[in-house]
Amino acid sequence: MNKDGEITIEQLLDSIAAAQTRLYDKLAHLDVTSLNISEYNQRYLGNRIANLKGVLQLYGRLLSFCLNKVPVHPENFVLVDYGGGSGLISLLAAESGIRTVIYNDIYDVSCRDVRLLSHELGLKLDHIVCGDLDELISYLHKNSISVDAITSYDVLEHIYDVEYHFHKLTTLSDRPLRVVYASGANIANLRYVFAVKKKQIEAEYKNREKKWGYKQCDSLQAFFDVRKKIISSYAPDMSLETVEHLAGLTRGLVQKDIEKCVDEFRLEGKISYHMDHPTNTCDPTTGNWCEHLLDFEWLKRILEREGFSVKIIPGPFNSDGFILRKGVKIFLNTLMRIFGQCLMFMAPYYIVYADFSRPSTAGHDNEK
């Protein structure tokens, strides 16, 4: 610690690196098929364990962003792992000594599986909250918990209403809040965008096969056809031509908003909603976007409107691999650190790093 009793950045990074090593040792030889977890999370967790060093390095980096220059010791820190999926961010946070880790995911199967996994690894998670942001906020208020930071990886591109989400984040805490969201859906990376647009078009117009490890809540039917069904069921008197017309216009909407568009069309003969992007689409039954390609300036604008100070920065490469490969990654990371968003096109992911400040309040510790 420094002379003021605060943990230094070097101590912080060392602590997280040590936690990565310990968690790696616990997970590296784990037989996920013996845990009685779902096929979905056997596949999902198995994929991460296959690249465990890189995954833990990335998650450790997100934790360091959450904790860096925050006037709260990790032992008194409250972290939300939003859309936690496999739970590895939560587990690494717990291994790092963060006092209160809150795992949150909308998928009840993942919430159950993470409870089993945490028990198996001996890393107790006191708070596992199943539901979306509104359910999370309700849980926090009910239990008188204020949050210091919220983090996620590859979740932002699946949030249905991003503006609403960031608006509601300001109610997570009665003290300063840090948001660290990282996403591989990097709109500046042209090679990635080319592949994702193809994936989005297929999700929009092609049915998918049910495969091992399939997430049960996801639709297998083409999203365009799902919207046609929603519209024809809600307005059985409409002609097939009109139904198909509206199904095309409502790409990117969930059922309740599609039905509002149908009502508007009945009154006005047109709808005000317009999808600007040529391929962005979401599952109309859940609102889960298919790798939503988000404009960085728009993201920054809506966060600033809510009172956040925000930076969007390129996510660095993991420093693994052979010596030559590792050297290239270190060189590219140095360039991205110097030039920032100007080199976003080469980044494997991007990081939204935002702070929301409130007037200081007495009694920083949580009521438990």
Q: In this predicted structure, what is the pLDDT of residue 318?
A: 86
What is the rounded distance in angstroms from the CA atom of residue 317 to the CA atom of residue 5? 33
Q: Are 213 and 205 within 8 A, CB to CB?
A: no
Give Cβ neighbours of residue 363 (< 8 Å, ≥ 6 apart): none
Residue 42 has pLDDT above 50, yes or no: yes
**Does position 359 have pLDDT exceeding 80, yes or no?**
no
- pLDDT (0 to 100) of residue 93: 96
Give 20 or 361, the one with higher predicted confidence: 20
Q: What is the pLDDT of residue 360?
A: 52
Residue 126 corresponds to which tokens in the numbers above? 């006191």
Question: Would you state the pLDDT for residue 213?
Answer: 83
Q: What is the pLDDT of residues 45-99, one digit of tens each?
A: 999 998 999 999 999 999 999 998 887 777 889 999 999 999 999 999 999 999 8
Of the given ranges (74-78, 112-116, 150-154), which has the lowest mean pLDDT? 74-78
CB 170 within 8 A of CB 147: no
Residue with tokens 């078009």: 201
Could you tell me the CA-to-CA distances from 43 to 46, 47, 213, 237, 239 in Å, in that order?
Answer: 5, 6, 5, 44, 43
Domain positions in the chain: 9-187+294-356, 206-268
Fold (topology level) of 9-187+294-356: Rossmann fold (3.40.50)
Position 112 pLDDT exceeds 80: yes
The rounded distance, in Å, linking the Cα atoms of 27 and 5 is 34
**Local confidence band at 327 (pLDDT 50, 70, 90 cut-offs):** confident
Q: Are strands 127-130 and 78-82 parallel, antiparallel or unpaired?
A: unpaired
Question: pLDDT at position 217, please?
Answer: 83
Strand order from edge to edge, sheet including 149-153: 127-130, 100-105, 78-82, 149-153, 177-183, 349-356, 308-315
Question: 85 near 110, Cβ under 8 Å?
Answer: yes
Q: What pLDDT is stored for residue 99 in this prediction? A: 87
pLDDT score of 170 more than 80? yes
Strand partners, 152: 181
Q: Is the pLDDT of residue 358 over 90?
A: no
Model confidence pLDDT, tens digit, residues 295-305: 999 999 999 99
Mean pLDDT in residue range 96-108: 95
Where is pLDDT greater, at 285 or 13? 285
165 compared with 3, residue with greater pLDDT: 165
State yes or no: pLDDT of 349 exceeds 90: yes
Partners of residue 42 on adjacent β-strands:
none
The CA–CA distances, whole Å, from 196 to 84, 130, 193, 295 equal 22, 29, 5, 15
Q: pLDDT value at position 72? A: 77
Measured N-to-C along each axis, helices 223-234 and 240-249 cross at an angle, to the nearest 10 degrees, of 130
Mean pLDDT of the chain: 91
368, pLDDT greater than 80: no
Mean pLDDT, residues 140-145: 95
Residues 91 and 63 sit within 8 Å (Cβ to Cβ): no
